[in-house]
Every structure is written in structure tokens, then in C-alpha cells.
Amino acid sequence: MAEKKNYYEILGVSKNATEEEIKAAYKKLVKQYHPDLHPNDKLAAEKFKEINEANEVLSDKQKRAAYDYEQEHPGMGGMGGMGGMGGAGGFSGFGGFGDIFDSIFQGFGGSASVQRDTTGEDIQLTLTLSFMDAAKGCTKDIAYTRNEPCPSCKGTGAKDGSALRTCSKCGGKGQVRYAQDTMFGRTVRVGACPDCGGRGKIITEKCPDCKGKGFVRRETRIKLDIPAGADTGSYIRKRGFGQASAEGGAPGDLIVVLRVEPHRIFQRKGMDLYVELPVSFRTAALGGTVKVPGLDDTFDYQIPEGTQTGTTFTVRGKGIRSRNGTGNLYIRVFVEVPTRLTREQKKKIQDAAESMDLKQYDKAKKYADSVGALYGKNPY
């Protein structure tokens, strides 16, 4: 018998985790195991599937409550495997006992009645965005194919939407109760009615358009608003835009996972931006104004004299802007030494260099002092 999955362990959160903690854990794991980052990796694909499965349950209050109850009362969901014990010989159908069994189960903290989830399946898509679209926000047209409720039968699967009769086995409830003798005594469980599949209704004549399925395949087009600050691994959920339910329930959701392309100039870490800025030898030595790229346009920035390669300047509020705040822009300077100098230019640089003292080079002086201390003499 396969071991049941522990959704809390899959997401790496405690059973008492808040909705925010579950959401944060899910987002972190999606970034780590997304298929786009692990092409042709079956283990990563399976892990990604498990992560989404766990999130689908734990992010929904009703599904999470049902899951927690099942975890706390494991015998309630797995008694079917004990059919041969005590000569019970399996289950006996009890279709019309009303609330008598409900009252028995009140002592276990709730009613024995279990509502089947008839919601349609979710659809997951991956949307690739340019760096700027993700940073500044945009609207994208999305086209995909999904199961939509059949307009002819309104999703019932029955001809004209009315060729239905109430299931005689479950009385239209969609559920039947079963009793079984086990080592713990007689127990009762609730399951979907085998005759109507849990719908409570039986189709007497199928809809000719959908062949009794209750849905048809159609292309759906929507406009998707991408908020500013979107990043790889984040996702947008559109309620009700997934697959139609084959059992008359609510449609599933559309989940769009975002992937952001890298940029030629900017690097991103969270809400902060980093840019490598080449600075001329003259500007680094004497100081000056340089043009720095921003998300909207370039802006002027004053480089102080004596700036060295590797120096990082912080410009607050020039990073990614989103509903959660604004990041900073970090300018990392590297001094570019000119090449292909003329003879006259070389002479001027040589004359300038000879006129300077070692004390004017802070790092060179410290280095020379360290070497001198190592060998007992100054080699320069």
C-alpha cells in the first residue's frame, strides 16, 4: 500500500503554518523546481507536481480542513482494505438510514457526511515575459484550449438540459453509506453513489453536442494583468478559468506561472537592481557626471574623484517598484583603461605618472608597505 503524502512536509512548513507561510514556501519551491530550470529532469518534474498538489490542498481552507481531518483520523479513509476481517465479507449498502449515522459520528467531532469535490481541474501555463514587462507591469493576451460547459445542455450532459432523473439508489444525494465490521467494531463511511457517480442525477438521454460529457473543447482568450515587480516563479491564479467540471461543479482555475528573461544591462536580486557602469580613467581620477540607466530613462550621477574599480554606489528608490515597496539601484563601477594610445598620449600619461608620488595611491602604498614588512625591505 502506497504511503500517503504529507503535504506539510512537501512544502517544508508546520501543520500550524499560516496562509502567508504556505504561500511563501510554495513560491520558493516553485522557483527551485520549475521545469523550465530543469529540462528533461523527471525527478524535478515529479517534485514540481508534488509541490503544486500540496499547495492546491493547503492553500484552500476547505480542502485543508478535510485533509487535516483525514490525517488525524486515518482509519476513516482506509477501511476498505479490511473487508475480510471478522467474517464481515466487505461492505453492506445502507442507502436510506437518514441522520442516524450522522448522530453516531458527532462524537468524532463532526458529521459523517462528506461532500465530494466536483470542481473541474486546474490548468497550468507558463508565460515568458521580457525583463521590462515584468519590472514595470503589463497586460498580456492569453489564448489556450480548455473544457467549457456545453451551451446546449448547460453542463448537465443531458439532452436539452432536462433529460435527467433522480438516482433511486442515493435518493438524489449523490452519496451512500456503507457499514463494515472490523476489529474496532462496526464502522460507517460515506462514499460516492456508484450508480450516478455522485451527481444525484442519472442521464436518461445524452446531449448530442457533448455526448453526455457536459463540456466541449474551445479556445479561450483572456487579458492577463501582470503586476509590476513580477519575478520568475511567481504565478497568477484566475478563478474559474480552468477546466469545466464533468459533474456539474464549479470550473477549475487557470494558473499562469511566470518566467522572466534576463536583461542585457540590469541584474535583479529581489526588488533591487544592479548595473555595471564603465567609467573612463579621467572621470574616475578627476570625478564627473555620468549617465546611468534606470527603468524609465537614464539619469545623471556624480562620480567623486578617485573612484576605484569595484566601488558600489547606492541610489535609493531606483529599483523595482511594486505593491510591496520599492527597491534600490546599485551602481558597480569599473574603470576602463584606454587602449590604442598615440605616442603623444602615452608621453602625457608617462609625464603625469612621474609627477605623482606613491602616497597618492592608497592601495598601492598599503601593498608596498605589506611587501616591505614581509621581506624586510621595500622593493619599490
| Tens of each residue's pLDDT in the chain, 380 residues | 445 678 999 999 998 889 889 998 998 888 888 777 777 777 878 888 889 899 989 998 888 888 887 777 654 443 333 333 333 333 333 333 334 334 334 334 344 444 556 788 899 999 999 999 999 999 999 999 999 888 888 777 888 767 788 888 888 887 888 776 665 566 777 777 887 777 788 888 888 888 888 888 999 999 999 999 999 988 999 999 999 886 667 889 999 999 999 999 999 999 999 999 999 989 999 999 999 999 999 999 999 999 999 999 999 999 999 888 899 999 999 999 888 989 999 998 888 888 877 667 777 778 778 887 888 776 65
- Which residue carries 570625478 as its cell? 287
Same domain, 217 and 315: no
Q: At 238, which CATH number?
A: 2.60.260.20
Same domain, 4 and 47: yes
Question: In this structure, how many other beta carbons lie within 10 angstroms of the beta carbon of residue 85?
Answer: 14
In a domain, 125, yes or no: yes
pTM of this prediction exceeds 0.75: no
Same domain, 60 and 32: yes
Is residue 330 within 8 A of residue 294, CB to CB? The reply is no
The residues with which 171 forms a beta bridge, in sequence order, are none
Domains held by the chain: number: 5
In a domain, 57, yes or no: yes
Domain that holds residue 106: 88-117+164-203
H-state helical runs in the chain: 7-11, 19-33, 42-58, 61-72, 74-77, 100-105, 131-136, 281-286, 343-354, 362-375
